[in-house]
Amino acid sequence: MSGTASQAALFESLCDEYAGQTGVTVPDGGSGFGSNAIKINKSIFAMLVSDRLVVKLPAARVTELISAGDGVPFDAGKGKPMKEWVGLTMDDDACRNLVAEAMAFVGKR
Protein backbone atom coordinates (compact mmCIF):
# COMPACT_ATOMS: atom_id res chain seq x y z
CA MET A 1 0.00 0.00 0.00
CA SER A 2 1.42 3.36 -0.93
CA GLY A 3 0.19 5.28 2.10
CA THR A 4 -2.96 6.39 3.82
CA ALA A 5 -4.21 8.48 0.89
CA SER A 6 -4.34 5.26 -1.09
CA GLN A 7 -6.34 3.51 1.66
CA ALA A 8 -8.82 6.38 1.77
CA ALA A 9 -9.26 6.14 -2.01
CA LEU A 10 -9.58 2.37 -1.75
CA PHE A 11 -12.27 2.77 0.94
CA GLU A 12 -14.25 5.12 -1.29
CA SER A 13 -14.00 2.59 -4.11
CA LEU A 14 -15.12 -0.23 -1.80
CA CYS A 15 -18.12 1.84 -0.69
CA ASP A 16 -19.16 2.24 -4.33
CA GLU A 17 -18.69 -1.48 -5.00
CA TYR A 18 -20.57 -2.72 -1.93
CA ALA A 19 -23.37 -0.12 -1.94
CA GLY A 20 -25.66 -2.14 -4.18
CA GLN A 21 -25.37 -5.45 -2.35
CA THR A 22 -28.30 -6.79 -0.37
CA GLY A 23 -28.09 -5.93 3.32
CA VAL A 24 -25.08 -3.64 2.88
CA THR A 25 -25.03 0.01 3.93
CA VAL A 26 -22.23 2.49 3.39
CA PRO A 27 -21.33 5.67 5.29
CA ASP A 28 -24.01 8.36 5.25
CA GLY A 29 -22.20 11.30 6.82
CA GLY A 30 -22.95 10.67 10.50
CA SER A 31 -20.45 10.98 13.32
CA GLY A 32 -19.05 8.72 16.03
CA PHE A 33 -17.74 5.16 16.00
CA GLY A 34 -18.78 3.38 12.84
CA SER A 35 -19.89 6.50 11.02
CA ASN A 36 -17.29 5.82 8.33
CA ALA A 37 -18.08 2.11 8.04
CA ILE A 38 -19.46 -0.42 5.61
CA LYS A 39 -22.03 -2.65 7.30
CA ILE A 40 -23.88 -5.83 6.51
CA ASN A 41 -27.20 -6.33 8.26
CA LYS A 42 -26.34 -3.31 10.48
CA SER A 43 -23.02 -4.82 11.65
CA ILE A 44 -19.69 -3.21 10.71
CA PHE A 45 -17.26 -5.32 8.68
CA ALA A 46 -14.94 -2.61 7.27
CA MET A 47 -14.24 1.00 8.17
CA LEU A 48 -11.81 3.81 7.58
CA VAL A 49 -10.22 5.07 10.80
CA SER A 50 -7.53 7.76 10.68
CA ASP A 51 -7.09 7.01 6.97
CA ARG A 52 -6.45 3.30 7.62
CA LEU A 53 -8.69 0.50 6.38
CA VAL A 54 -9.81 -1.63 9.34
CA VAL A 55 -11.73 -4.92 9.08
CA LYS A 56 -13.42 -7.36 11.44
CA LEU A 57 -12.21 -10.95 11.22
CA PRO A 58 -11.94 -13.94 13.56
CA ALA A 59 -9.41 -13.32 16.35
CA ALA A 60 -7.08 -16.08 15.08
CA ARG A 61 -7.05 -14.51 11.61
CA VAL A 62 -6.28 -11.07 13.09
CA THR A 63 -3.35 -12.54 15.03
CA GLU A 64 -2.10 -14.25 11.87
CA LEU A 65 -2.22 -11.02 9.85
CA ILE A 66 -0.44 -9.01 12.55
CA SER A 67 2.23 -11.72 12.97
CA ALA A 68 2.84 -11.75 9.22
CA GLY A 69 3.25 -7.97 9.15
CA ASP A 70 0.13 -7.54 7.02
CA GLY A 71 -1.83 -5.69 9.70
CA VAL A 72 -1.58 -3.67 12.87
CA PRO A 73 -3.60 -3.97 16.07
CA PHE A 74 -6.70 -1.76 16.21
CA ASP A 75 -7.67 -0.26 19.56
CA ALA A 76 -10.43 2.27 18.78
CA GLY A 77 -8.42 4.88 20.67
CA LYS A 78 -8.82 3.13 24.01
CA GLY A 79 -5.29 1.73 24.32
CA LYS A 80 -6.36 -1.94 24.34
CA PRO A 81 -6.35 -3.83 21.02
CA MET A 82 -9.69 -5.24 19.91
CA LYS A 83 -9.19 -8.95 19.25
CA GLU A 84 -11.39 -9.17 16.14
CA TRP A 85 -10.24 -5.96 14.43
CA VAL A 86 -7.11 -5.28 12.38
CA GLY A 87 -5.76 -2.26 10.50
CA LEU A 88 -4.53 -3.37 7.09
CA THR A 89 -1.05 -2.63 5.76
CA MET A 90 -1.21 -4.57 2.48
CA ASP A 91 -1.64 -3.68 -1.19
CA ASP A 92 -5.08 -2.84 -2.57
CA ASP A 93 -5.82 -6.29 -4.00
CA ALA A 94 -5.00 -8.03 -0.73
CA CYS A 95 -7.09 -5.47 1.17
CA ARG A 96 -10.05 -6.06 -1.16
CA ASN A 97 -9.81 -9.79 -0.50
CA LEU A 98 -9.79 -9.22 3.26
CA VAL A 99 -12.79 -6.87 3.05
CA ALA A 100 -14.70 -9.64 1.25
CA GLU A 101 -13.52 -12.11 3.92
CA ALA A 102 -14.69 -9.70 6.64
CA MET A 103 -18.11 -9.30 5.02
CA ALA A 104 -18.52 -13.09 4.89
CA PHE A 105 -17.42 -13.40 8.55
CA VAL A 106 -19.73 -10.67 9.87
CA GLY A 107 -22.61 -11.56 7.55
CA LYS A 108 -22.88 -15.11 8.87
CA ARG A 109 -23.12 -14.02 12.51
**Across the strands, what pairs with 37?**
47
**103 pLDDT above the threshold of 60:** yes
**Across the strands, what pairs with 46?**
38, 55
Burial (0-12, 13-18, 19+ Cβ within 10 Å), 31? exposed
| CA 87 vs CA 6, 20, 22, 23, 70: distances in Å | 14, 25, 25, 24, 9
What's the predicted TM-score (pTM) here?
0.90
- Mean pLDDT for 27-56 is 89
At 56 the pLDDT is 98
- Mean pLDDT for 67-72 is 97
Q: Which CATH number fits domain 4-107: 3.40.50.1820, 3.30.70.1380, 3.90.1150.30, 3.40.50.2300?
A: 3.90.1150.30
